[in-house]
Amino acid sequence: MSDTWKIAPISTPRLAWGSSSNNRATNRRCRTCGVELLTGERAGFCCGPNGNRYTAVQRLPPLPNEFNTFLNSPDISRLSRKLNLIFSFAAMESSHAFPAPGNPSFVAVAGRIYHRVRARPQDDTAIRWMLYDGFDDSSTPHHIQARDIPSSWIRALRTSLTLYNPFASTVLSLRNLQLQQPLQFGIASIIVQDSGCAEIAAVMCYENTLRSQISPRSLLISTTDNRTQSISTVSQLWEPMAYPLLFPHGTLGWGLQPSSRDPSGITLDGAESDAPTTQIWHYRAQLLLEPRFSIFGRLTNEYVVDMFSRELDARLSYIRVNQEHLRTQEQDAALMGHEELQESENIYLPASFLGSGRWSSNQIADSLTIAATYGPPTFFVTFTCNGDWPEIRSRLRPGQTYTDIPVVVCRVFKQKLSRLMSLFRTMFPNAGRLLYSIQRVEFQKRGLPHAHILLKYSKECVLADDIDHVISACTPEAADDGEIVRRFMIHPSHNSNIINNTPPSPQNPLKYCEKWKNGARVCRFGYPKPAQERTSIDSSDRVLYRRGEGDAFVVPHCLPLIRKFECHMNMEVAGCGQLFQYLFKYVHKGIPDTGSADTLC
């Protein structure tokens, strides 16, 4: 066996909060905003280069003292979405029905997204509760969700909104007016029922949509004569109306400066000046600087989904109103202006829009060009975040799991991935230099982030002995190594009904990897795998890894990497010509066979 693929010693990728990469500094923080930095993070990622974004985002007022009733409870993160829903003036809704949640469930955003405030007597909303019942204990809205919330929490938030929230106090004051129409401008709400799921993600589908079918996202205001007005996604009222638990003082969120007001004093569409900073920088500052987003973890997940969808809608709105310019611009660049622009009712998503068909085509074309120059990739690696990493556990509050701190999870994963990519440059000292690497990070609808990585080295790894030196599909004999492989590298269909080909029940849906084939329930990845005495390559150029009788569900991996990173890390040979285009399509996926594009958060 040659030593071409000899693996060099691998250091443990230790990260620490408040420490630099050399671990010399302690309590390391951003000089401008004071955010505690993780090893590898540079000052300014939180508030811009030299803090140039810091003053653009105003700090939120401290949470009211009444919040001390529940702030330290281990259940506050888990129940935060329900508590906010009870008091929300404008909860998130969609013009299309939400699909039934699975286990774990996710929120699929379909159709036109809006926030509606309903004030009719029959509506089960916070506005109705304030206007008609004066916050009476016996008429709490969303009573199913309210049953899970301690009454002292509801009283504390109710008192806070009455004292400090200008919108709540204004609505309550209307009860003292003798009007034939109690609310001249009723406001709106949709209920997103909390199913108890720990993970939330948004899936926004962009089909071949006609311009006539497009309606911009908005916050709808229903008037007494059934007319509707709207507050657009660039309104500063968007956040305080939907999230009173996060913004109990009614603090205005990101938006453009208003230019007009309706007769009731509610700000309508229009802007006189630009916002002080971009949406993404605004949300980044809020999430990093304000402790409340760590305390109300589940609600923070919903907030992130809503704000990302809101920012995405703003970009799509720009594309809708600049169709001719964008078509001409891209056509001139691609065809040198020799072809006349064709009129079309279809919405044109340019290549500059992340996730569009043209963007994906460009990514694939660039990747194929790189590979045509340097050759097909050597390895295909899937690196998955471990929610039990100590860097994540150390930031948990009582009662929380990794799903409650999405910002921390993303920061830790980014730095771990950075260390892994640096390691690939020195990991195989005898295999030549790393010619190229291509990666894509995904969340895949729900769960932890993971990265798909393609690596190309100067030397080829095609001989059985070389492959075995790098990749294993066996359970190690050493107790510690065997435990870590069983912990991270066993395929999830192991011990499922797939082994017995039993049909699923409605209470036990198919796993993500399973499908029906010839009346049987099988794994689409081919597990369980047959025993293989020696590593070989079959007629379709697929590698069949050596594995014993008890290794049918072991996922191919590089054991030294698993030891150090302690997470799921699938590593396989990817140099076969027939796999090449599939691998690039997989890394740059996002355009299903139906022709629509997925944008994942």
Asked if the structure places residue 120 within a domain, the reply is yes
Residue 133 lies in a domain: yes
Examine the fold and report which residue of 288, 318, 348 is the final residue of a domain before the chain moves on. 318
Percent of the chain whose predicted confidence (pLDDT) is above 90: 32
DSSP letter for each residue of 105-122: --EEE-S-EEEEE--STT
Distances (CA, A) of 579 to 206, 355, 363, 438, 526: 29, 23, 18, 16, 16
Long-range pairs of 399-404 with CB within 8 A, sequence gap ≥ 24: 399/73, 399/74, 399/75, 399/76, 399/77, 399/78, 400/74, 400/77, 400/297, 401/198, 402/448, 403/198, 403/199, 403/297, 403/298, 403/301, 404/77, 404/78, 404/294, 404/297, 404/298, 404/300, 404/301
Residues 307 and 442 occupy one common structural domain? no
Cα Rg for the chain, rounded, in angstroms?
27
Residue 159 lies in a domain: yes
Shared domain check, 402 and 294: no
H or E element: which one contains 396?
A: none
* Final residue of a structural domain among 291, 318, 345: 318
For residue 440, the model assigns a pLDDT of 85
Query: Do 361 and 313 share a structural domain?
Result: no
- The total number of structural domains in the chain stands at 2
- In this predicted structure, what is the pLDDT of residue 372? 87
Query: Is residue 223 one of the residues assigned to a domain?
Result: yes
Which tokens hold the place of 253?
A: 């969120």
Most confident of 28-37, 117-126, 183-192, 589-598: 28-37
pLDDT tens by residue, 383-411 = 999 999 999 999 999 999 998 999 999 99
Average pLDDT on 493-501 reads 45
User: Domain limits at 177?
Assistant: 65-318
For residues 434 and 8, the answer to whether their CB atoms sit within 8 Å is no
> What DSSP string describes 48-87?
-GGGTTGGGSPPPPPPPGGGGGTTT-TTHHHHHHHHHHHH
**Helix residue spans in 183-278 (DSSP H):** 238-242
pLDDT above 90: residue 179: no
- What average pLDDT does the structure give for the chain? 76
Same domain, 401 and 295: no
The answer on 313 and 369 residing in a single domain is no
364 and 305 together in one domain: no
Asked whether residue 263 falls in the same domain as residue 400, the answer is: no
- Give the pLDDT of residue 344: 54
CA gap 449, 314 in Å, rounded: 25
User: How far is it, in rounded angstroms, from Cα 283 to Cα 57?
Assistant: 9
Question: Are 144 and 70 part of one and the same domain?
Answer: yes
- Please indicate, yes or no, whether residues 313 and 366 belong to a single structural domain of this protein: no
395, 411 Cβ separation under 8 angstroms: no
Any domain includes 330: no
Identify whether residues 117 and 258 lie together within a single domain. Answer: yes
Tokens of 232: 């657009």
Domain membership flag for residue 588: yes
Classify residue 225 as exposed, middle or buried by CB count within 10 Å of its CB (0-12, 13-18, 19+). Answer: exposed
Tell me what pLDDT residue 260 has.
47
Asked if the structure places residue 367 within a domain, the reply is yes
492 and 566 fall within a common domain: yes
* Domain presence at residue 194: yes
Comparing 271-280, 417-426, 433-442, 499-508, which segment has the lowest mean pLDDT? 499-508
Same domain, 93 and 215: yes
The answer to whether the CB of 484 falls within 8 A of the CB of 558 is no
